[in-house]
Structure 1
Amino acid sequence: MEDRDRFSEDTQRRSCSKPPVRNRRACRETEKDRGKTKPGLPETRKTGLSHTHGFNGMCVKQPCKTSETPSQCSDHMNQPLPFWLLLCVAVFSLSTRFYNITEPPHVCWDETHFGKMGSYYINRTFFFDVHPPLGKMLIGLAGYLTGYDGTFPFVKPGDKYEDHNYWGMRGVNNNISYTLQPFSLSWWLWLILTGVNLSGSLGVKFVGLFVIILVGISTAWDLWKLLGDLNLSLVDFAKHLFARIFGLIILPLFLYTTIFAVHFAVLNRSGPGDGFFSSAFQSRLIGNNLHNATMPEYLAYGSTITVKNLRIAGGYLHSHWHLYPEGVGAHQQQVRTSAPYNHAETPELVRHGDIIRLEHRETTRNLHSHLHEAPLTKKHLQVTGYGINGTGDLNDLWQVEVCGGKKGDPVKVLRSKVRFLHRSTGCVLFSSGKTLPKWGWEQVEVTCSPYLKETPNSQWNIEDHINPNLPNISLHVLKPSFLEILLESHIVMIRGNSGLKPKDNEVNSKPWHWPINYQGLRFSGVNETEYRVYLLGNPVIWWLNLFSLGLFVVMVSVCSLALQRGAKLEGERKGRRLTLHKGGGMLFLAWLLHYLPFYTMGRILYYHHYFPAVLFSSMLTVYFFLLFFSINLCFFFSSICSFYLFHPLSYGMRGPLAHDPSSSMAGLRWLDSWEF
């Protein structure tokens, strides 16, 4: 009797229950008879997105019958979908995605960027983007396989494709989304595929990190429950743990790194992305000035050098004959490039802690700072060119600091990160990133910062180095390793992402707009004579999702309060509560993880950033309806009808705009903020 009671409690805490057995051996035999025993793992369960969390591939949740116990209800709710229904979904998905794929026959919105990046892959030209490369690599591969030659310039939206084969690059995105249909295979294959898809999600965009967090939470919860299962030995638990470490950490990390290895191998020629990276990174690109170049390895007095700032897209320290205008600090020479130069016959190496003077070779003025405020960054000091033929004053002296080095360490070209500390004022040479007005030729402001914290803006490296009295080496020996360029590329991507700020008068979508479908996005065309495509969510589905999210919070809150007050849930109600809290709770958490972080982001946001979150809210809506209302034909047909009514927005339209009463879309402009 005690065994039977213990088993009853155990099955009620699982959403996919097993038949009552007396011991673990009998349980294994039952599983084997059913063809479910997995090699090396007892009592196998789906992990990552698991059965217990409601992500059961080909299972559909049906409402519980009143006569069923919670465990019977849970079993009843995992019924396989009819094959014909899955087939219909697949066919409908394929046909709607590929219908009219070649329209419009011109560049649309982000095709300007992603089409151009696809061309870069075909031409093997290096470029910079703020996201990982997998998505762009697939676009380039699709274009290559369908006959696109990589010559279309992708200058601006509206440019005609003419005779270029562009349909393959559009089609690959539709094909990938179409193949995301549910299916059920063995435990190990589910685990491996979860790991593969984790690497793919992060390999396309950094927002893939949110789904990794989701799977991490799900896996941790599943392992915690396994640890509490007294029928599972610690050896078997260790097998489960290491299987998940391999499938959900090691494998995705390996595949993610492989994506970048292919990315770097294909893009091995100099291109528009060179300047975003360090000089050492650029030395590996064919066609770059530093590729296979030769120069002295260590900096010495008397050398002619080029100094480059290490912030993203950092420029070179530069100067010319023009003076600062009246009223902008001291009326002295503007600064943005310099080089030390003297004529010592026996070169002495420049080392960490040395005091040096940097002289601009063309104007023979020294790099100089003083107690005048900088032109734009008022809390910093002005940097100028001062003196003549190397003669100046004590404000021309700078101390060399090798980042991470110690006194006496030499300065290595390309590889050493160097800071220049002003001896008189104690500030550090700094690139503010701010653009000077017309009088500064709209170049970047150089200042002397009193804030001495090490940042890329205050770090510099020696790029070009000429000294006839020193032996030259090939820069090939200074080329960074794969791990170094992998780390640098991620640092540059993260900094670039955070630097995507909205420009003046540029429309910036707000996160609160997205769940209510407040505003769409013009994908192509703006007036009645142009072929217009407008990105807008299906309003019926969007608003029903919002209703389901709110109803879920209310129902869970009410249920929790009732239980706290001592209410008893039996039979059908208990089964529904368990299913709703586990499966629905995981979907609601997934929606939160993919939505709330955007409120903290300072970068420019777009409507499509909500699309991963809306997938989870849609799943929660269907889960909710199937759990409480069975299959609702009204919901099904309303979704189909709304798709038919609004399909011109996706497939393109011409004629009067929707605000014109004569427009065929006039009655569908349900919100004034919809601009189609």
Structure 2
Amino acid sequence: MHYVTYGISDESSMLRNRRGQMNTGEQSPVSTHHESTQENTEDDRLSEGDSQSLNGTSAQHNQGIYSPKNEAQSTAFFLLVVFLAFSTRLYKIMEPPHVCWDETHFGKMGSYYINRTFFFDVHPPLGKMLIGLAGYMTGYDGTYPFLKPGDKYEHHNYWGMRGFCASLGSCLPPFAYLTVLELSQSSTAALITAAVLAFDTGCITISQYILLDPILMFFIMGAVLSMVKFNRQRCRPFSAPWWFWLVLTGVNLSGALGVKFVGLFVILLVGMNTAWDLWSLLGDLHLSLMDFGKHLLSRVFGLILLPLFLYVTIFAVHFVVLNKSGPGDGFFSSAFQSRLIGNNLHNASMPEYLAYGSIITVKNLRIAGGYLHSHWHLYPEGVGAKQQQVTAYLHKDYNNMWLVHRSNDSDAQSEPDLVRHGDIIRLEHKGTTRNLHSHLHEAPLTKKHFQVTGYGINGTGDPNDLWQVEVCGGRKGDLVKVLRSKVRFLHRATGCVLYSSGKTLPKWGWEQVEITCSPYLKETPNSQWNIEDHINTKLPNISLSVLKPHFLEILLESHIVMIRGNSGLKPKDNEMSSKPWHWPINYQGLRFSGVNETEYRVYLLGNPVIWWLNLVGLGLYMVMVAVASLALRRGVQLDKRRIEHCRVLMEGGGLLLLGWFLHYVPFYTMGRILYYHHYFPAMLFSSMLTGITLDTLLQSADLWLRPPYSHWLLRGGQAMLFLAILNSFYMFHPLSYGMRGPLAHDPDSTMAGLKWMDSWEF
């Protein structure tokens, strides 16, 4: 079985060579307590794995010395893990009976799907679709508003959505058990991993509420399990199980990406594993190029084309279901809005090309850029010139209307005159009759930009009211199309460009969005606009249905909006964010429910014993791999069992270490706001690595002690480990299942003495 083991390929080669030496009869001085019959069986397996080739595909490593004692024990352990996982996550699933943390977002979005109301979110739609489907299938009618955390659910049926998320979260320990069992062939390592995840208060809490995280982690773990199962089928290429696990890996990859863009990390993990696998196949001299081509094409189908098709299908369903106008309209282009039932652009008709004398609304192309807007209020004293405010407003309003005039005030013509690329125009605000104006005063918030105001009266102003129309990508004489053309307005006097900064004005600006004139002329969505509403009685109207974007256009726009929205997430006032280095050390949790001692409190915090054990496991793994690599380099004689330990650490552990790295380190490069719960996918890999590392360490007790003392140390260490996990869960379980009464700093609190870090808030 070949895993992604970058940087340890030389050691893996040494392991294969060592194993070959053992098969030729070379004896090792290192003792082992395996029975001779088991060793003979393993010798046969290893010899067979080294010599056999099916369709040119090496069968090495398909069987290992870590195979469970018997299948009945493995099955019993698995059933125990399933019972523990579901019982810990479904316990008190109805508590508390009010909205907790981000349920206010994702519960509301589930309601939107039931009501078919369009909304905007920075994540792909699959998770919210499944939440909505779970609610619909369990009798929820989509009428609860999910306004804010703490609101009572009352008679509304919310258990189905919570139960669905908890059920998917309950699959994580069994998936981890099976994954580690495949990688290590040790039921003990698998059981340690499952216990770590089953009794972690953080994993329990994040699985019990209406959130995307348990759905995301379900698909991530499903993809990893399917991948290692597929790797185990290498000696049986193109068989039914081989195809099953390949296709299931692709399905889980599309699911992970369809819930959150974090799914890209597991796609990268599977991609690196696949690249290494194909590289190994290419080096197999028993494999013809024709057969290698079949392997390559099958992986392209199962791991690229199939996930891509399913991912696009998710969005197709999303667009079909959410066909009614809703709170997400303003985040999207005017053309996009024209397809939504109830939007003023849906089935509307208006002139196709912009003309002088038209009444228009102008929408900025930045996410939530808003409509160009003005009102009678003036900029306050000390904020540029004390002239009329010009802002961007996120909602449709009469004060978004503007009249288009020629630069010379002469609009009276019998025939309509169309506006073209390069024309000089004036924009007069219809409600106040003041012109769109700019000058060399600095903008209110963006100090390197110029202020934009409303100036003049009844359309009469000065040369600072003149703007040049520029169609992005256009040439002189090109017409301005309603909805479709991206337009910029260049100020003639200063050379700056009309710009929506995205910054929120203070109370004096009614907390609307700042409009400036930017001296930086690079084309960005902030400086690009389109004409949305268009009224001109001299021009023939066309139905906007002919301007509706096709599926690929709205798919692309949705992704651009999501990516920009995701990268633009910033902390709100007094909002608690965290840094990536906080996460592995369990520095700070998240309040899910309640703050003071009279409230029902739930606090998202990983079981500190387990999380710090994972940190120790990471350190031990590095040391053990370094020692194993050094021993191999120095030619130390090792028996088969020790060689198998090294293989499991380097190949199985290497895969899990890579998974942890890919799901954790990229957050250091992100500029958006980050939260503690972002670490949980990486924590899954860290926990699996801990299971393999600690089991290998305990299995190596005979390096220091002779039997029976080594066996006593092995069993005693395992017992102490499981007892420590159970005891820590008993101590910290109120974090997940709810606390009332005094806070932890009070000696009378049920959590007294358990606030081990001052940064914890329970």
TM-score (norm 2): 0.79
Displacement after TM superposition at 1:12 (Å): 6.4
Cα distance in 2, alignment partners of residues 17 and 502 from structure 1? 61
Q: 1:119 aligned to 2:123?
A: no
Q: Which amino acid aligns with 1:312?
A: I
1:577 and 2:566 aligned: no
Q: Report if aligned partners of 1:44, 1:187 keep a CA contact under 8 Å in 2.
A: no
Shift of 1:77: 2.2
Equivalence for 1:664: 750
The offset of 1:639, in angstroms, is 1.2
Change (3 A) 1:556 1:259: same
Q: Counterpart in 2 of 1:540?
A: 609
Match of 1:193 in 2: 248
1:529 alignment partner in structure 2: 598
Aligned to 1:174: 166
Aligned to 2:216: none
Match of 2:92 among 100, 108, 123: 100
Q: Distance in 1 between matches of 2:759 and 2:551?
A: 49
Q: Any idea what SS the aligned residue of 1:545 has?
A: helix
**Range 509-518 or range 436-445, more displaced:** 436-445
Instruction: In structure 2, give the amino acid aligned to 1:89.
Output: V
Distance 1:480 1:558, change over 3 A: same
Q: Which amino acid aligns with 2:375?
A: H
Code of the aligned partner of 1:339: L
Mean CA deviation greater in 250-259 or 431-440 = 431-440
Shift of 1:395: 2.1
Aligned partners of 1:210 and 1:594 also within 8 Å: yes
How far off is 1:10 after superposition? 11
The answer on whether the counterparts of 2:246 and 2:303 sit within 8 Å (CA) in structure 1 is: yes
Q: What pairs with 1:434-449 in structure 2 (closer than 5 Å)?
A: 434-449=503-518
CA contact (8 A) 1:108 1:158 kept: yes
Aligned partner of 2:133 among 118, 137, 141: 141
Q: Which residue of 2 aligns with 1:130?
A: 122
Query: What does 1:169-568 align with in structure 2 at a 5 Å threshold?
Result: 169-180=161-172, 181-182=174-175, 186-336=241-391, 337=400, 338-341=402-405, 342-560=411-629, 566-568=634-636
Matched, 1:634 2:720: yes
Counterpart-to-counterpart distance in 2, 1:8 and 1:110: 50
- Could you tell me how far apart the structure 2 residues matched to 1:122 and 1:205 are? 21
CA distance in 1, matches of 2:326, 2:615: 45
Q: Is the 8 A contact 1:421 1:429 kept in 2?
A: yes
Instruction: Quote the Cα distance in structure 2 between the aligned partners of 1:224 and 1:11.
Output: 22
State how far apart, in whole Å, the 2-side matches of 1:504 and 1:147 are: 38
Retained in 2: the 8 A contact 1:382–1:447? yes
Greater CA drift, 536-545 or 449-458: 536-545
**Secondary structure in 2 aligned to 1:608?**
helix
After TM superposition, the structure 1 stretch with the greater mean CA deviation from structure 2, 446-455 or 573-582, is 573-582
Q: Which residue of 2 aligns with 1:601?
A: 670
Contact 1:124–1:267 (Cα < 8 Å) also in 2 = yes
- What residue identity is the alignment partner of 1:601? M
Q: CA deviation at 1:214?
A: 0.9
Check the 8 A contact 1:360/1:367 in 2, yes or no: yes
Q: Distance in 1 between matches of 2:744 and 2:16?
A: 61
Post-superposition CA distance 1:437-463 (Å, at most 9, x none): 333222211111011111111000000
Q: Displacement, 1:515?
A: 0.9
Letter matched to residue 121 of structure 1 = Y
Counterpart CA distance in 1 for 2:128 and 2:250 is 21
**Structure 2: any 5+ residue segments left out of the alignment?**
1-12, 22-41, 179-228, 231-240, 392-399, 406-410, 700-714
- Counterpart AA for 1:340: V
Q: CA deviation at 1:394?
A: 2.5
Cα deviation for residue 613 of structure 1 reads 0.6
- In the alignment, the residues of structure 2 paired with residue 44 and residue 484 of structure 1 have an alpha-carbon distance, to the nearest angstrom, of 46
Q: Give me the whole-angstrom Cα distance separating, in 1, the residues matched to 2:322 and 2:280.
A: 46
Please tell me the residue identity of whatever aligns with 2:131: I
**By how many angstroms is 1:223 displaced?**
0.9
Larger deviation, residues 455-464 vs 81-90:
81-90
Aligned residues: 632
SS in structure 1 of the partner of residue 372 of structure 2: coil
Cα distance in structure 1, aligned partners of 2:690 and 2:508: 59
Distance in 2, matches of 1:196 and 1:587, equals 21
Instruction: Kindly report structure 1 stretches of 4+ aligned residues shifted beyond 6 Å.
Output: 5-8, 10-13, 15-18, 21-24
Over 3 Å counting, the alpha-carbon distance change for 1:84 and 1:23 in structure 2 is closer
Which whole-Å CA distance do the structure 2 matches of 1:260 and 1:358 have between them?
A: 39
Task: Tell me the amino acid that sits aligned with residue 473 of structure 2.
Answer: G
> Among the aligned pairs, what percent are the same residue?
73
3-state SS, counterpart of residue 325 of structure 1 = coil
Q: Structure 1 residue 331: deviation in Å?
A: 3.1
Report the Cα offset of residue 8 of structure 1: 6.6
Contact 2:18 2:643 survives alignment (8 Å): no
Can you give the 5+ residue segments of structure 1 that lack an aligned partner in the other structure? Answer: 29-40, 46-50, 57-73
Query: SS of the residue aligned with 2:258?
Result: helix
Q: Output the amino acid matched with 1:92.
A: L
- Higher mean alpha-carbon deviation, 530-539 vs 467-476, is at 530-539
Q: Distance in 2 between matches of 1:424 and 1:655?
A: 67
Secondary structure (helix, strand or coil) at the match of 1:454 reads coil
CA contact (8 A) 2:56 2:288 kept: no
Q: What's the counterpart of residue 43 of structure 1?
A: 57
Instruction: Name the SS for the 1:340 alignment partner.
Output: strand
Give the whole-Å Cα distance in 1 for the aligned partners of 2:16 and 2:363: 70
Following superposition, the deviation at residue 561 of structure 1 comes to: 5.4
The alpha-carbon deviation at position 141 of structure 1 amounts to 0.7
Amino acid at match of 2:341: I
Return the letter of the residue paired with 1:76: I
Q: Normalising to structure 1: TM-score of the pair?
A: 0.88
